[in-house]
Structure 1
Amino acid sequence: MRTANWNRCLGMLLAGSALGLAAPALAEEAAPAKSDGIAEIVVTAQRRAQNVQDVPIAIAAISGDALSETGIRDPRDLTLLVPSLSMQAGTAASTTSLFIRGVGIGDFNSNTTGAVGVYVDDVFLGANAGKLFNVFDSDGIEVLKGPQGTLYGRNTTAGAIRFSSRKPTDELSGDFSALYGRFNEVQLEGGIGGPIAKDLLKVRVSGFYNRRDGTTLNRVTGHKVNNINLWALRGIADFTPAPNVLLRLSVHGGNNTGGARQFQHRGQGVDFFGNPAKLPDGTPTDAFGYADTDNNAYAGDYNVEGKERIGVFGTSLLGQVDFSGVQLTSITAYEQVNRATLEDTDASPADFVVAYYQDRPRQWSQELRLQSTGERKLNWIVGGYYFHDTLATDSSFDLLRSLRDPNDLAGTFDPVNSLGLLRYPYTQRTRSFALFGQADYKLTDKLTFTAGLRWSNDRIGMDYHSLFDIVGGIAPVKAYSDQTLPLLDFKDTKTFKDLSWRAALNYKSGDTLVYASFSKGYNSGGFAGGASTDPLQLKPFNSEKLYAYEVGLKSEFLDRKVRFNTSAFYYDYRDLQVFVFDLTGPIPVQRKLNAGNAAIYGLEAELTVRPTRSLDLFGAATFMHSEYKKFAALGGVSYNGNRLVNAPKFAFSGGINWTVPLANGAAIKARVDGTYVSSIALFPDNAASTEVKGNGRINARLAWQAPSKIWEAALWVKNLNSARVISSIAPVITQDQINYNDPRTFGVQLVAHF
């Protein structure tokens, strides 16, 4: 069966090559061309500077200028440019789950280790909330598809996203952007840097500020909710005491004081006893008889207007020494996040479920690498990595307050019927270390063999408690009494070990590269981090493993006016980790467990055409089939044959860049880009009620560039077609909470570079 699927992938690859229909790594359109041909894109995916066309890995690379033009703010927005990358929004802006080629997990809890590794300047970020503050003053982004581990500190099964900030320059330089848009949005971004002491010290300081009024009307108060208010700062100093020595200190921080997500409400049409609950016209309601009937995704009735408070701080020190043909690199980093989110979980005017999430992750990492430099017959890299993370949480759910006795000022204490404040504080400690290495050996001038190996050891300890409190308020006020009922005390430690690898062959002739690879990725097991009252819910889940087979083609022709890349892949996905809701009781319970195995295979194609110096056409497409081969879910229900979560059958992104020179040296620049994603399932059961229909979005930008090329003024619009796209659905007792994308936004922008 696997051989048949692999042969099918090869056929799809050849078919894609013949069709030539899709698009680039979207970096191709991002970097300006210096001639009539498509500009060369330099990436460091393999820990050395290379033309992206020479790297035998499927990569999407996006320049800093393209990020500014498209309004990319954080990893979630990258899905608009990279069709094989998708996301599932969680309970808040800080708990988004990322997927590449259908590989990922939709668990929004704080202790989740995602299948997609996110790196900023080669520092792995473990906490979800910390990833909101790093896409500014950016030099570019690389999205690496498939298992990564033989070159990187942290191992991942789906792939990696690498953000690179702009570094200090030898001469004074700066980049600034000011944006104003719908909903009174203000976005300011800038960076300036240069030498302090010639040939010894240079620095760069950058910052980002974004505020926006709410996009959603709260009909209860008349206020606008789902607002944005955050800022971030970064400072980088390069110290070069000798020509072959670099010490780079980076310090960053940020703060978010915006609103928590306010969801849309959808009644499940049943009461607490399973009886039908509907309005006279047949509209399903929740158990309190409420239904949101206006079909407006940007209005709701909320008795609690949620808030989110996130503070981040991080620092890293890179040390790099070049010897004769060898480079030694050390990266020491510390990251911390303080997050507190108050959420109207039931998305209704009733006191049904109110959540308070609090977590404080602290991570420290050390990476050490030794590698060859220059182009030799044998290029190699070896390294070691240590990661330590302590996550302390104290989250809670205030359950069914509307059913309590209003004359009981302390609040009814009835854990049997879930009337009370359910707290679940826990501390999770993760200690991970690994040894990794990779070597490229030129068998001939055109044929290169690559081999990589990684050994990983992850030790995870969980100290978990859950209890009911008698409380008149909600957790943020800390109004706990001495009358508590301990429900669960759980403590366990588990060690996970694995050996993963990569083997590849690539043949480079002229402007054409053909490659084939076989790799294994690993994502360690662990413990569930949601609210639990039963020790079985905290039973550790196992590590997942991904065996990836891939063949690819990268090519340029017609004097570099056309670039066509394509790849076919087959994934043998074993013991994959899945996040589900146990709906067997009156209250949905979060569960994290292992499915048996699954298969994913597909074809990707990228095309960039530059018919003239002023015109670029680009696009990228992913065709994919995913299937659970063996998955017996809770209660013995079989999900065999179902599609994987967040794995569309087809996804496309593309657009056009057109520059019209004017007589005075100025220019008009126009860009239109869009994306389309076929339907996806949000849960393994593939229920129609939690399926996201196929959807597409269009963005546009029109700019006037000054004759000096130093600054430009632009008009922009995002989601021009006002698409309403569901990014998550979660069951909450007798209703569902639904998360939508932002509505259409538009405005003006000023950009300057010097």
Structure 2
Amino acid sequence: MRHFALFGPLLASCLSALATPALAQQTQDDGGIDEIVVTAQRRAQNVQDVPIAISAISATALVEAGIRDPRDLSLLVPSLSMQAGTAASTTSLFIRGVGIGDFNSNTTGAVGIYVDDVFLGANAGKLFNIFDSAGIEVLKGPQGTLYGRNTTAGAIRFSSRKPTDMLRADFSASYGRFNEVNLEAGIGGPLVKDLLNVRVSGMYNRRDGTTFNRVTGNHVNNLDVWAGRIILDLTPSDDALLRLSAHAGRNNGGARQFQHRGQGVDFFGNPSFSPNGTPLDGFGYADTDNNPDAGDYNVEGRERIDVLGVSLLGEFRLGAVKLTSISAYEQVNRETLEDTDSSPNDVVVAYYQDRPRQFSQELRLQSDGGGKLDWIVGGYYFHDTLKTDSAFDLLRGLRDPGDLLGTFDPANSLGLLRYPYTQKTESTALFGQASYPLTERLTGTAGLRWSHDSIDINYRSLFDAVGGVVPVKNYSDITVPLVAFQDKRSFSDLSWRLALDYKVDSTLIYASFSKGYNGGGFPGGASTDLAQLTPFRSERLYAWEAGIKTDLFDRRLRVNAATFFYDYRDLQVFVFDLSGPIPLQRKVNAGNARIWGLEADVTARPTRNLDLFASITVMDSAYRNFAALGGASLDGNRLVNAPTVALAGGATLTVPLGDKGSLRARVDGSYTSAIFLFPDNAASGRVKAHELVNARLGWQSPDETIEVALWARNLTNSRYVTSFAPVVTMDQLNISDPRTFGIQLTGHF
């Protein structure tokens, strides 16, 4: 843990908690830490009164910490981690070691993503949401009672800024290393006084490539993303609100270019090493410069993602109850062309195409705060149609160049393996939850949810006889079908939550027992035989948790802590079958597992001008009753993406300059102990312990409406693996971004 010394003194200055970092708060006139209002239980509450582990992050903290998409949230929430698969899609999120590292199109992760209470199912459409943000809530542990689908790990709730009855504008403009430009703006106000308000917002982010391609002389891994949103609020009466929201976005940057690592074998399984012992791939190639910002790529890919969505929210107060309806439609179009082997040779080129279309409807009826009993009941419906047409161009470098069509040899995996399929998912749920004060200080909460998922898949895999490179959508001559598979499965389950909380003065003590459910389904990767398409079962997670939330010293110190134990059954695991020459993707149920953990977080404001926060998550995880594909026992191995220690901490110091404004300096950092990316805990899939340190220095105008700041991310230039996949005689490594720095202008009017 040598990296811990970089900001250990800062972390040692405080403990930690489950509430929000101090920088997410606005201070009150008396200098104490302000109240944080969240809606985790579908009603506005002080986060200190909610018997759930929550990290709430304000819009100010998002700007100061440089949070741009869900992958960055681990900077402030150490129990949240991720595996980054590609440039702007297929990121797998984990909370407290619970998640699924599957990058395929039909994967619904264990962490539910919600934008303004709309669940996002598409794996490729979740990175367009953090702009013009009012804040983010990270709910830890199973949220099976009140939230839509598949939330065994937790839920992340994004809230956009809403229209107001007064004109308001916010903007941010940043320029940084690699010619990075990041623009964000939003403006809103009344269109018709006391009747119709509007908010329009957008963002644009572009960056030159950070990685040098030695084959072409170009720089790759560039960014080019834009997104926009409009929200209309109609209030025909004091008891009714209709909110229409529409958003769109596009990523038009490069596909992720990975780092290459030879496996030390040739195409026949014989050892293949250079004279100095460097492992080579099947073509005798190795990337030997140890430079994570350079590579040899014969294919410079691209990634095009278009998102579009619209939702209609209706809220109606009917006496002592409130009725809420949310209707939403989301669609994503994705095309990715990728140099999968990350080398100058034609080994594997991938083309991914996704076309998900989802519709959801939620109805909730709940008490409106008029009595002792707080209750909510509702129903949820979700329908998704996913069409994909993806392919792998395999081992083109081994084909006979004299054959104009290219040697076509399915037996030796020489050809264009294409796997189009359509999957339809239909999910329905009924839920309810109630809280009642058993005594003046003791409150009980009980919740129940019944869920039913139906999944219908029509899958084909085939070799395309016409030679050429992907994209394969231009090819239609199919001569060698491998697999034709059609099936339908249904999954049902009951989720629940029981909790007791005891409130005395400014301290809340709680204990809960809950169950989360993630429905089963079908693998969505390239398959060459029916065995790879075997359905996997639903996974279930039983969670015991106890915690304390307290404010001390006139709210100058906030200490929250919790301990949890997870009994994880039939957990879904994504693995590679390495028994043949071509690594095959498999998704299986891994028996059972258990996770024990302790979280703590401290937010402190010793003076009006100094804010401190520190967080720690300690976990011990292990598989139980889990046999690998080859039959070897993996019992006792650590779970994927489950560090034993994860830390985050930071400080913000404000220096008043009188009528000349103020200076605001911030330093924050995070540390993650070593993790494994696959259940076998092999050394090839081990990610070393790593840290990130960021800094920001800004000047604010006297009225705090304008700020100019210098910023730096990853000051120590820490480089580590964020995802790993075996290919053919080589490994594909995704490396974290290098050090960046720049200048930022923000304004609020």
- Residue in 2 aligned with 1:713? 708
- Residue in 2 aligned with 1:140? 135
CA contact (8 A) 2:574 2:587 kept: yes
- Separation in 2 of the partners of 1:276 and 1:199? 76
- Separation in 2 of the partners of 1:484 and 1:394? 17
Determine whether 1:744 maps to 2:739. yes
SS state at 2:276 partner: coil
Counting only pairs closer than 5 Å after superposition, residues 676-687 of structure 1 correspond to structure 2 as 676-687=671-682
- Separation in 1 of the partners of 2:150 and 2:402? 55
CA shift, 1:641, in A, is 0.3
- Separation in 2 of the partners of 1:69 and 1:61? 15
- Amino acid paired to 1:435: L
Determine whether 1:31 maps to 2:28. no
CA shift, 1:477, in A, is 5.7
- Residue in 2 aligned with 1:284? 279
- Amino acid paired to 1:614: N
- Separation in 2 of the partners of 1:155 and 1:728? 23
TM-score by length of 2: 0.97
Which of residues 550, 558, 563 in structure 2 aligns to 1:568? 563
CA contact (8 A) 1:426 1:463 kept: yes
SS state at 1:416 partner: helix
SS state at 1:29 partner: helix
Deviation track 1:455-487 (CA, whole Å, cap 9, x = no partner) reads: 000000110000001233223263425252000
CA shift, 1:445, in A, is 1.7
SS state at 2:565 partner: strand
- Amino acid paired to 1:431: E
- Residue in 2 aligned with 1:507? 502
- Separation in 2 of the partners of 1:95 and 1:335? 17
Which of residues 286, 302, 307 in structure 2 aligns to 1:307? 302
Deviation track 1:538-560 (CA, whole Å, cap 9, x = no partner) reads: 01000000000000000011111
- Residue in 2 aligned with 1:224? 219
- Residue in 2 aligned with 1:209? 204
CA contact (8 A) 1:608 1:618 kept: yes
- Amino acid paired to 2:15: L
CA shift, 1:20, in A, is 6.3
Unpaired stretches in structure 1, ≥5 consecutive residues: 1-17
CA contact (8 A) 2:84 2:91 kept: yes
Deviation track 1:379-420 (CA, whole Å, cap 9, x = no partner) reads: 000010000000000000000000111121212111111111
- Separation in 2 of the partners of 1:107 and 1:148? 21
- Residue in 2 aligned with 1:7? none
- Amino acid paired to 2:193: K
- Amino acid paired to 1:271: D
- Residue in 2 aligned with 1:616? 611
- Amino acid paired to 1:29: L
How many equivalent pairs are there?
Answer: 737
SS state at 2:397 partner: helix
SS state at 1:394 partner: strand
Determine whether 1:523 maps to 2:518. yes
Counting only pairs closer than 5 Å after superposition, residues 249-648 of structure 1 correspond to structure 2 as 249-374=244-369, 376-476=371-471, 478-480=473-475, 482-648=477-643
Identity of aligned residues (%): 72
- Residue in 1 aligned with 2:169? 174
Which of residues 115, 119, 128 in structure 2 aligns to 1:124? 119
- Residue in 2 aligned with 1:22? 16
TM-score by length of 1: 0.97
Determine whether 1:233 maps to 2:228. yes
SS state at 1:129 partner: coil
Higher mean displacement: 693-702 or 24-33: 24-33
SS state at 1:168 partner: coil
- Residue in 2 aligned with 1:4? none
- Separation in 2 of the partners of 1:246 and 1:336? 26
- Amino acid paired to 1:380: W
Unpaired stretches in structure 2, ≥5 consecutive residues: 1-11
Which of residues 629, 653, 662 in structure 2 aligns to 1:658? 653
- Separation in 2 of the partners of 1:91 and 1:274? 29
- Residue in 2 aligned with 1:79? 74
- Amino acid paired to 2:28: K
- Amino acid paired to 1:325: A
Higher mean displacement: 655-664 or 180-189: 655-664
CA shift, 1:608, in A, is 1.0
- Amino acid paired to 1:553: I
CA shift, 1:637, in A, is 1.0
- Separation in 2 of the partners of 1:176 and 1:34? 25
The verdict on how the C-alpha distance between 1:375 and 1:717 changes in structure 2, with shifts beyond 3 A counting, is farther
CA shift, 1:79, in A, is 1.2
- Amino acid paired to 1:32: Q
CA contact (8 A) 2:650 2:667 kept: yes
CA contact (8 A) 1:20 1:605 kept: no
SS state at 2:630 partner: helix
The verdict on how the C-alpha distance between 1:598 and 1:709 changes in structure 2, with shifts beyond 3 A counting, is same
- Separation in 1 of the partners of 2:476 and 2:673? 51
CA contact (8 A) 1:27 1:63 kept: no
- Separation in 2 of the partners of 1:365 and 1:23? 35
- Separation in 1 of the partners of 2:88 and 2:421? 22
